[in-house]
Structure 1
Amino acid sequence: MQLGLKAGVNDRQIKDRLQYHPSVFEFHLTEEDVASAGLKRLRDKIQFIRNQGVQHIILHHPMNFEGGHLELSMSEASSPARYRFLWQSTLDLVQLAQAEDVQLLVHGSYDEPVEQLTVGYRNLTEAAEVLFKRMDYLNKIGHDHLFFENSISPLFYYGNPDLDQAILAKGYRLAFDTSHCFIKYHGDNDVLVQSLQTLKPAIAHYHLVDSLGLKHDGLELGTGRIDWRRVVPVLNPAATNIYEVQLADQNDAREMVASHQYLTALAADLQH
């Protein structure tokens, strides 16, 4: 198991994470981080992290702009400024990821209400068609440096056997958040394990996080209801991972590190 940690573009957080010598580092970006000055700072941080011996660096596309989620499917009419920011930031980050040989994580969708997801569209089906066309485009221009993450949204999620097969057929590189799939199916470990197994060949990155399966709770591994003894054997060993758990203090990664210790011990036990 790899030690993968997450932080903002913040010197105190970066220093805290680096003391554990992670092999994977994921930057959680904000809208300020992808303005022109922010991109320059981000490039410097990428180079600094790499010089500290971190092998794998991931850029998590900003979740929000001016208080609203950046839905990849959004229509320009729904919020012209947010739409422009979505595309400018995504294309800038694709270019940066390629130039610096790092990975960009883009959410296929978040969990906005259906009435928000369908603004400017007749229904969810039309919104989903637009979403997959846009994902096809981003996959084409950024393929080796980009992957898409699941959510509990009706537009892009994992766990439905037919949809999983359709996503697999697209040839996308995927990021799999264990808690999102678990929550989407109300705490069903059978669905989670089956989806992990089905999508395994396409998964390039994991967000390993526990949950009670009721809502976004971001629990430390071993404290929720995910059956990690079943999950570990179906993980793709070629993929990277981070522990995306809620921290009591954003400047202290102890819950992430404890999650790694839990999973490392479990993996060792399973090998006996």
Structure 2
Amino acid sequence: MLLGLKASSDWGQIKDRLQYHPDVFEIFTDVPDFTPQGIQHLRQAIEYVQDQGITNIVLHQPMNFKGYHSELIVPEQQFPELYEFVMTTAHQLIDLAIATDSQCLIHGSYDGEHGFKAMLSAYGNLTNAQATCYHRLDQLKNLGGNHVMFENSISPVFAYGDPQVENEIIRHQFRLVADVSHIFFSLHGDNERLVASLRHLKNNIYHYHLVDSLGQTHDSLPIGTGKIDWSSVIPLLNPSATTIYEINLKNQLDCQEQLASHQYLSTLGY
């Protein structure tokens, strides 16, 4: 298994992760990273990580903006400021990923909260919202090419687990990110359907978020402490893809929970 670690653009977090010599480094961006000074700092952070010999770098679009999730389906007329933020940061990250030969990660959707219901209601039904999501993902795919990837959600707008939905996602030829816990939670803790989804989408997945869950809430547990059957999951991962451990940390300046997850998989022989 690759050692993939995640941090913000904070120098303290970055240096904590780098002491363990990860193979993959994911930078979770936030609103301050998109001021002129923030973008400059973010680029310096990317270059600093690259100077340590790490070539697999993923830039994660901000999750939140002023109390809302950065939903890709955000209606422009009802939420003009949020729409501007979501689209502008997506374009800025794609440009930065291309310039630094990194990867940009965009969420197809989130968890059905933080403004989601109001956004969904603007479309009348889920089918219309999904059509808008796919259309915007197509635009970003055309813009970013091999430097942009799209992560699955817990909300039904862009969730894995339904074979028919997955067939439509495959038809669009999106480069996918699979958060294993998101699939597990969306399927109410069903390991058999989780495995089926990972097998079905395997050739389209370029990056994984490895994180455990009890399957009831978005709990982001260290691997081995939830109910995901990792001995069935790991053999189904695309060997050409990158991976990181996206675990809730007690201390953002100490990634011990991520390291413990890696060690757990090592004890299973991976």
Partner residue of 1:127?
129
Q: Give the counterpart letter for 1:65 in structure 2.
A: F
Q: Is the 8 A contact 2:25 2:54 kept in 1?
A: yes
8 Å contact kept, 1:117–1:124:
no
Residue number in structure 2 paired with 1:215: 217
CA shift, 1:188, in A, is: 0.3
How far 1:210 moved relative to its partner? 0.3
Q: Deviations over 1:221-241 (max 9, x none)?
A: 011000001001101110001
The equivalent residue for 1:265 is: 267
On the 8 A contact 1:245/1:255 being kept in 2, the answer is yes
Secondary structure (helix, strand or coil) at the match of 2:254 reads coil
Cα distance, 1:119 vs structure 2:
4.0
Match of 2:179 among 177, 184, 189: 177
Asked whether the 8 Å contact 2:224–2:264 carries over to 1, the reply is: yes
Counting only pairs closer than 5 Å after superposition, residues 165-244 of structure 1 correspond to structure 2 as 165-244=167-246
User: 1:153 offset after TM fit, Å?
Assistant: 0.5
What TM-score, normalized to structure 2? 0.97
Q: How does 1:13-28 map to 2 (within 5 A)?
A: 13-28=13-28
2:41 matched to which residue of 1?
A: 41
Amino acid at match of 1:158: Y
Q: 2:95 matched to which residue of 1?
A: 95
| Deviation (angstroms), 1:97 | 0.5
CA distance in 2, matches of 1:232, 1:103: 22
Aligned residues: 268
Distance apart, 1:164 and its partner CA: 1.1
Residue in 2 that maps onto 1:145: 147
- Retained in 2: the 8 A contact 1:5–1:24? yes
**Percent identical:** 49
Cα distance in 2 for residues equivalent to 1:45 and 1:115 = 36
Q: Give the whole-Å Cα distance in 1 for the aligned partners of 2:117 and 2:94.
A: 30
CA distance in 2, matches of 1:115, 1:11: 36
Off by >2 Å, runs of 4+ in structure 1: 112-117
In structure 2, which of residues 162, 187, 190 is the aligned counterpart of residue 160 of structure 1? 162
Deviation digits for residues 113-157 of structure 1 (CA, Å, limit 9, x no counterpart): 462232432222111111110011111111200100001111000
Gaps of 5+ in 1: none
DSSP 3-state at the match of 2:193: helix
Structure 1 SS opposite 2:104:
strand
Distance in 1, Cα, partners of 2:266 & 2:201:
23
Preserved CA contact (<8 Å) 2:112 2:154: no
Segments of structure 2 that go 5 or more residues without pairing to the other structure are: none
2:62 maps to: 62
> Any conservation in 2 of the 1:110–1:152 contact (CA below 8 Å)?
yes
Structure 1 residues 162-214: Cα deviation after superposition (integer angstroms, max 9, x where no partner): 11111112111000000000001110000110000000001000000000000
How far 1:83 sits from its partner (Å)? Answer: 0.7
Distance (Å, rounded) in 1 between the aligned partners of 2:191 and 2:39: 40
Contact 2:160 2:183 in 1 (8 A): yes
Moved more, 124-133 or 202-211: 124-133
